[in-house]
Amino acid sequence: MDSLKVAESNDSSSKKKKMRWEKSETIGNMRKSISVEEVENGFVIRKSQYGSEESDGKYTDINETYISKTNPLEKEKPKEEKTQEESIIDGLENLNM
């Protein structure tokens, strides 16, 4: 199942609101996730992948952190203008994936 979470935080040193995006996916015994945090001059990106491959059963635990000028989850920002009915319909459609 795929999930995207977006959070807002206030930075006490500046008046700009900082955004944070998280997305995760589990396929079989393998879980992959990415989190993106907005900072002053770009984005901090954290990727992780852990679990065991079904083919060989080997356990994998990979973590990466890097800085980027672009947000890889930018195109996946949720629409802020959805009605409550549209949000419910989208949620139900995601359950039937």
Instruction: Supply the mean pLDDT for the chain.
Output: 78
- Which residue, among 95, 72, 90, 92, has the nearest Cα to 23 in the 3D structure? 72
Whether residue 46 is predicted with pLDDT greater than 90 in this model: the reply is: yes
The pLDDT of residue 55 is 77
pLDDT bin (cut points 50, 70, 90) of residue 56 is confident
Of the segments 10-14, 19-23, 87-91, which one has the largest average pLDDT value?
Answer: 19-23
The pLDDT of residue 75 is 74
- Which residue, among 1, 19, 21, has the nearest Cα to 11 in the 3D structure? 19
In this structure, the dihedral spanned by the alpha carbons of residues 54, 76, 45 and 67, taken in order and rounded to 10 degrees, is 140
Q: Where are the domains of the chain?
A: 2-95
Mean pLDDT, residues 5-16 = 59
